[in-house]
Structures are given as structure tokens and as C-alpha cells.
Structure 1
Amino acid sequence: MMILGIDLGSTFDKYVFINTEDRAVRLHRHPSSSSHAYGVGRLKTLCEHYGFVPSDIREVIYGATMIDSLEDLSRLFPHAKMTDPEQMSDNFTHDQRNLILFSMGASTISIEGTSALTELSQIGGGSIITSPENEWFAFDSSFISYYPGPASFGQGGTQATVLDAHVLLGRLFPFHFLGDNLALSKNEAYGAINRLSSHREQDPFGTANHIISQINHSVSASLLNILNQHNLVAEETNLVACGGMGPLHAVEIAQNLGIPEVLVPRFPSLGFHMNETISRWLKENEPRLHERNAASDALLERSECLFCIEDRLTNMEVSFYDREKLFTGTALYGPAIVVQADSTTWIPPYCHAVVDEDQFIRIQVSYCY
């Protein structure tokens, strides 16, 4: 029996297939379709690619963008139950009253509080950065495309993006980026960020750190407004990090505000509500205790990253882990980076994390530096 999760986004369409018999989980990403009908139609091809037929799908968990396409989904999967994760909140494991949802993708940032209040910012991983004469950088998300993409893609792009800043700081796994056969080039990222540094008294590494810090402080200010509007206390609130870029920024944002814990869902690009619904299937079909791996079994490689300690950028050894090999109870200690097909999670130095029974990575935020 197969479970399907689907969400069609502004930059990427996401499909997750869960085989409840052999516990296989497959996530497929594709540049956004020109129409939802086309995005739904692609599912038939994906079913054939993975070796099953539409009648094998017994439940479809759909994102908010799919509400107008339910008839198409029902025709394609006539035997499947259609599940709206937004309507399943009574069965959610995590108490949403003390959660704030933070999502950052290729082009936008969204922040959702307890009453569905959302603030949007047109900044994402693919945003092109410009450097006005004042101290603040400017971000433009109006021309985002996968090709040529950021400079670090090595496909001919020359303008610096937020993703390039992360590459230069060593916070992205350079191989098979987001599940694609794409190697990220730190040299190309250096060249693009260096051009931004030309009239600043900073080297490219300091500029990259400045870019990330500016975004984090901007998001922190928006989050503080939500906390104040809803009379929430930061120390009693947790931050959920979603989107392809959200888990790269979330812990440092939490540190700015005194939020003690960050939660990263199993599939960050699918959002919180869909992950809460999917987690029940993952929990029921997770490998038995003796089949699970230790964190060392999930280790991809060790490398160096740059991290700011006492206002100075410092080289530190960082461990890269494969999210597919992390199971309930696995513990991680920063600096660490968790790599998966739809996102990357940054666990800074002195922070530690554990995978909970719902397959969320729970990061305990530390302020020891």
C-alpha cells in the first residue's frame, strides 16, 4: 500500500511516496508546473517510474495549494482517501499553541503564528543580492530560476544569491545538492560574493556572514512582533523550521530571541501540517530498534565551516549527516549539518539535537558562545 503526499509550490512541486510494506520513502522534486493540472498529471509518470500503478495509492495527503485540484486527484486515484492535513489538527502530536512556523524557500519567507497570522518577505535562497551604499544589503526575488541559478551552481550565473553566501560559509553539502546531480562550487560563490565586497571593508567571508546575519535579524524582528501580538513568551515558545532554506537559519533566529527549541520536520519543504499527518505512517513503519543506525552510520563527511564566535569568524570542523539514515533517538551534536533531498539543517556549535518519535529533529538551542 502506498501513501502519497503532494504539494505544488511556486518554485518546486514536491511529491513524497511512502510504501507501508517495505518502509521505502521517496521524495521527488520538480521545478514548478505551469499549471496544477500539469503537476497532477505528472503523478502518473512518477507512479510508472517507481514501479506501481495509481490503484496502489490508498491515501493522498494534499497541501493547501491542491484544494482546487481535488477532482483531478480523485480521478487519478479513485481508491484513495483524500486527506487535508489542515483538518487533522486535533490528532497532531505537537501542541500548536506554543509553536511559531517559520518557512524559507527559494524566493519567500513566511511566518505563521497561533492564529494563522502570516507575514511575508520576498527573500529566499535564490534571491539576488545587491549592495547599496548603505550598510544593508538588498534582495531581489523577481528573477529566480533554476537555470542558470546561483553562481555556485556553476551553470553560468554570476550574481550573488543567499545560497551562495551559505556555500561560502561551508554550510551546504557540495555534492548532489537537494538530491540533484549538482556539485556546488565554492570558487564561483567566492567570486560572486567578492564582487559585493568591492566597496565594503570586508572580505568575502565577512560579507557572506553579514548577509546571513541581516536576514536572521530581519526575521527575528518579525517573529518578535508576533510574540508580542499574541502575548507569547519566547522562552515558552518553540520554532518550527520549514522550507528548503528555513532549517539553515532557524537556530540562529531562535538564539536572537531566546527561543529554547527548534523543530525540523522529516520533509521540511512540505510544511508542518503535512509532516504531522505523514509522521503517523513513518512512526508505524519505522525500522525496529535493532535495525536503526547510530549517527556515525549516517555520517557523509567531515569538512570545515565558518562560524562567528565573539564577533570573529572562526574555522570549525563540521560533520555532514544523511537524513535518510537518522531514526528515532539518534543524537547529533553541533556543529553539524543534516543533508536531504529537499532541505538542509544547520546545527550550530554547542547545540545538540535528537530525532523524536515523529521523525522531527528537535534542536536544543545553546547560547554558550
Structure 2
Amino acid sequence: MIELVDNDIDELLLVLNQNRATPLVLDPSRRQALCGNHDVQACPGSGKTTMVGLKLLCFIRKWSAPRRGICVLTHTNIARDEILKCLSGHPSGFALRSYPHFIGTIQEFVNTFVALPALRSKGMTVTQIDDDHCVDRLERMALPGTKTYLANRHASISELRYRWEHNSLILKTPAFQMPSQSASYTNLLAIKARLQAEGSFFYSEMYAYAQESLFHNPQLADALRYRFPVVLIDEMQDVQGFQDELVSAIFDHVDVHYQRFGDPDQSIFDGVGGELPNISYNSADMQPIVESHRYCPAIAGQLCGLSSRNADSDEAAPLFRDDCAP
């Protein structure tokens, strides 16, 4: 396990600041975030992406394992691209773009390393992973009577998907709590089987199949931890509960440098699609990054009172302080 210390940061800054008109200067809270692995709350304008990029560059400058890599997970493609853009400014950053390292969304990671291999081992073909496509196909295949039945019970055909519950892979059938001999229930089973035969899956189903694979093959998690001894997660505030459950089951381990970055005050995806939000991060105690470069003092003073994390308390009041203020 590679440990980062202040000297690693100083050496990197010495290189990066050679061509910068305004040198990068890191305060103690940012240095602590770079050297530690505690959860970090980074307010708007705190330079979170830059900080993640600096940490990755510090790691890669000391990296020597040819078949073990750094894993960086994000919630969106935009965040992934921002990190890659940040790394492109330094020659060492290009090493992180390829094997054995991985920088991508949580969905990409789950698909690539767990769900797709699990489905192929079952003899199943995956041609498309997309919620809108699955709903459209199910609606086209469903019989009129099935659609009427669901509408009368205020149920959506989008709920017809596999989930991992109580250590079992279960097909959830909308409007039905248990198996039935009815025509609508039989039709739902038939169109779901046809959809899977076409190779089409919901995004969340990939997590269900991944959970099943990890449950029946516990050595898989050990292998992933060995492959990726360093794991950083960006935009953690928007990671949904089922995503957090899977990633934490794999990487929240003593053998992994596991660190999460985000800001619960900026969470916008909690409860999307009826899914539960994560609570392991959004409800946790964490160290805030106390300075923002984005807001003037007047705006910062108004924003601090809006924090759901009680950032306007005496201890957390500096969270929105503008260190560039005159």
C-alpha cells in the first residue's frame, strides 16, 4: 500500500508550478485530504476535481505495480471527463488512462468487471443496457389487457426488472405481490423473457446480477481489491443506495485505500426513479474543505445558512469562506 506524505505533495507542486503564473498552494485541510483516506465534503468552488487530480498524480509518480491499478469512479460521464482533462496537463497523467488503471463511471465499472462476465457465464447475450429502450420494448410487447391491468393499479411496466433482495435474484412484477395464474401476470413473464432474449437490460439490473455474482463467488471481491488497492469516488453525494451497497461491499476494506469526495448539499439524484439514496456518505461525518474560490464574501455569507449539513454552525462556518476575498 502506497502512503502519501507532505513531501510527495511538495515535490509534485514544485513540478506543476514551474509553468504556472499563479502557483498552486494547498492549505492544511486539502493536504490532509490528499494524504488521508477519510470522506471529504468539498463545497462549490473548492477545487475538488483539481484535488482529486493532484492525488492521482501523487500516486502515479510512486506507482510500480505493473498489474495492479488505481480505480477512479464517478457518477457521471461529465465528472469522468473533467478528471481526465485535469490529468492531461501532466505527462504522468497519461499512464492513468490505460491498463492496469481504470477511470470511469460506477456503471461502467460494474458492467465491465462484474455484471457482463456474470451474464456471459450464464450464456446470456447483452446487446443494450438502457432504461428507455427497455421500457419502450416492454410497452410494445405487452398485451392491451396487461396495460389496462397495470393502469388500473397505478403500476408502471418499468418496474418489471430483476433485483437483488434477501440474497436472491428476484423478478419484480408490477401490480403483483406473488405469482399468479392470471393472463396479465403470464404476459409480463413472457415479455420479460423475450426482452432478455433480445439482450436488453435495465441499468439497475446490472447491479443485481453483479450482486448475485459476488454473493456466489466471494473470491471475486478479493480479486478486485487486489487489482485495485486504491479507489477514489467522485460525486459521491449522487451515488444511489444500490450503487453504494455494491461498491462498498467490494472496496470498503482494510486492504484498500478507499476515499470518497462530494458534497451532500449538492445532491440532486436522491430518490430518482424511486431508488433510495445512499446514506453511508450523505449522512456521515466528514472533513469539509473549508475554502471556496468561487463566491465573494456577500454570496458566501448567504449560502452558508442553506447548508443541510449545518455548515452555518460555529465549527463549520468557514465552509463557504472565500479565501480570495480582499
Q: Which has the higher strand share?
A: 1
The structure that has the greater radius of gyration is 2
Q: Which has the higher helix share?
A: 2
**TM-score strictly above 0.5:** no
Highest relative contact order (Cα 8 Å, sep 6+), 1 or 2?
2
Question: Taking structure 1 as the reference length, what is the TM-score of the superposition?
Answer: 0.27
Question: Taking structure 2 as the reference length, what is the TM-score of the superposition?
Answer: 0.29
